[in-house]
Chain A
Amino acid sequence: MNVSALFLALMLGVSAIAAPLPPPPVQIDVNKLPAQAKVIDRVVVPVPNEIFAVLDKLGKPRWAGLVHRDVSKAKPTGDTPQIAMMLGVIIAEGLIAVEAEDAEEVKEIGRAILTFANAIGVRKAVVRRANSVIEFADKRNWNRVRTELDGALADVREAMIELNSESLAQLVSLGGWLRGTEVVAQVVTMDFSRSGAELLHQPGLIDHFQRHIAGMKSRFRDSRLVGKVSKGLTDIRPLVGEDGSRIPEKNVREIASISGSLVKSISSKSN
């Protein structure tokens, strides 16, 4: 290649890189999504405090009365799926205790996270986060505690995936989602509003959890507790409405009752 050809090639390369980007389409056909864009399988489950933030804007709930103080005192029990789901419940409980600004309870939660992470072999991955939860709760730096609890969830999940336990990682998220859903439904029930009820409209997430349970290895799927949770998700699914539909107060009460009973089963010694 001579010098002028090289120069031309370079200029073409530069102009291609610097060309203005096209404006985005204002409408896409969601039914043709896989053809238009490759859909990434991974689902990032929202943390409960994303919803708590909205509830705080709708009216200050009395969070202190919603903290389950027995959760931080629980000891690992049952099979691995139960411990994984309980770890998710504990992290969600930590976020409720943060809303209640209960530093002592948050510190207890930090310790409980270590105990349960140890029971499923991911203690090392979560030690730094759990200690940070305790440290920042002591300083009452609530936003930092929220970040560290979210990080604990992410680190536990990552460590489980590295151990080829994607199923257990999903169960941690599921446990957290159930406790979050229970408390959101309780808050909405206390002072019912359409906007509050709409927060429970999460059919995509329920479908995601159900798909994961269906695709789990039989040793996890056949767990009695996982079966109970799967049935509970099936019962909750029609109550959260289709896109744009209103969720009546009766449904919210039912969602609170089902999710509450599932959380109780996850925390219980006998299943």
Chain B
Amino acid sequence: MKTLTRLFLTLLTAIAVPLAFAYVDDAHSRAMEAATPAVKEGYLVRQEYWAGSVTVRQPSAVKHQLFKGNSYWFWLGSDEDSAQVTVHVYDADGKIAEAESWQRGNMAAVKVVPKKTGTYIIVFSIEQSRAKKNRWALAYGYK
């Protein structure tokens, strides 16, 4: 019985772990698709990124250190084709800090040219989607 349980758990892990990564990768692939125009302009994409899952209209936020003198693009992607995603950036005082932004279905991007070095808040949301839970990935690049 113990052996059977162990076998079941091993199989479950073997199936669940790659699936979990596939979800993250799909959302990240959308974010990277969104990054393509900026990469052509010479932005270096960070290899680390944020990822997770959220319900519709549940805004999330990450805090991130930005440096005055650089310009940044943040790219948000979701693996859900029907999703409409948004991403916006605020400074430490809560004022909107973006220079440019665009939104196209399950991809959105925002450009920031920081006026000060310090912590900024990136607020993002899945505004509409047919899925209850949506995987997302948020990446950024700098120049």
Q: How far is the CB of A116 from the nearest CB of chain B, in Å?
A: 18
Q: Is the interface of B mostly helix, strand, loop or mixed?
A: strand
Contact of A42 with B62 at beta-carbon distance under 8 Å, contacts A37-B123, A157-B48 already known = yes
Judge whether A17 and B46 touch: CB under 8 Å. Answer: no
Contact B47 A30 (CB under 8 A): no
Interface size on B, residues (CB 8 A): 45
CB of A13 closer than 8 Å to a CB of B = yes
Q: Does B134 contact A (CB under 8 A)?
A: no
Query: Is residue A28 within 8 Å, beta carbon to beta carbon, of the partner chain?
Result: yes
B residues 6-65 near A (Cβ < 8 Å) are: 44-50, 52, 54, 58-65
The reply to whether the CB of A201 lies closer than 8 angstroms to some CB of chain B is yes
| CA distance in complex: A256, B64 (Å) | 23
The list of the 9 closest CB pairs from A to B, nearest first, reads A54-B69, A37-B59, A204-B119, A154-B47, A37-B61, A24-B88, A151-B47, A30-B94, A28-B94
Q: Determine if A28 and B67 form an interchain contact, defined as CB atoms under 8 angstroms apart.
A: no
Asked if A146 CB lies within 8 Å of chain B CBs, one says yes
Q: Are A204 and B59 in contact (CB under 8 A)?
A: no
CB distance from A6 to the nearest CB of B (A): 16
Query: Does A270 interact with chain B (Cβ within 8 Å)?
Result: no
In the complex the two chains form, what is the Cα distance from A39 to B117 in whole Å? 21
- Contact among A28, A40, A154 for B90, CB-based, below 8 A: A28
- Chain A residues contacting B92 (CB-CB under 8 Å) are 30, 243
Residues of chain A within 8 A (CB-CB) of B130 are 13, 17
Residues on the B chain within 8 Å of A202, using CB:
65, 117
B70 with A50: CB separation less than 8 A: yes
A70 contacts B by Cβ under 8 Å: no
Interchain CB contact under 8 A, B54 and A46: no
Asked if A27 contacts B49 (CB within 8 A), the reply is no
Q: How far is the CA of A24 from the CA of B125 in the complex (A)?
A: 11
Q: Find out whether the CB atom of B50 lies under 8 angstroms from the CB atom of A204.
A: no
Does B142 have its Cβ within 8 Å of any Cβ on chain A? yes
Checking A21, A47, A201 against B117 with a beta-carbon cut-off of 8 angstroms, the contacting residue is A201
Q: What residues on A are CB-neighbors of B52 within 8 Å?
A: 40
Closest to A25 in B: B96
Residues of B within 8 A of A45 (CB): 48, 65
- Could you give, for residues 47-62 of chain A, a 1 whenever the CB lies within 8 Å of some chain B CB and a 0 otherwise? 1011101100110000
Q: Are B142 and A27 touching (Cβ within 8 A)?
A: no
Residue of chain B at shortest CB distance from A144 = B44
Write 15 A-B pairs (CB below 8 A) sorted by A numbering: A37-B125, A38-B58, A38-B60, A38-B61, A40-B61, A44-B48, A44-B64, A46-B65, A49-B44, A50-B67, A146-B44, A147-B47, A150-B44, A150-B46, A204-B119
Chain B residues with Cβ below 8 Å from A74 are none
Contact of B69 among A39, A58, A204, A205 (CB under 8 A): A58
Mask: chain A, 163-202; 1 = CB below 8 Å from B; 0 = not:
0000000000000000000000000000000010011011
A143–B44 CB distance below 8 A: yes
Q: Does B117 lie within 8 Å of A199, measured CB to CB?
A: yes
Instruction: Provide the bound-state CA to CA distance between A153 and B48, in Å.
Output: 8
Known: A39-B63, A46-B65. A154 touches B48 (CB 8 A): yes
- Asked if B127 is at the interface of the complex by the 8 Å CB criterion, the answer is yes
Chain A residues with CB below 8 A from B90, complex form = 27-28, 30
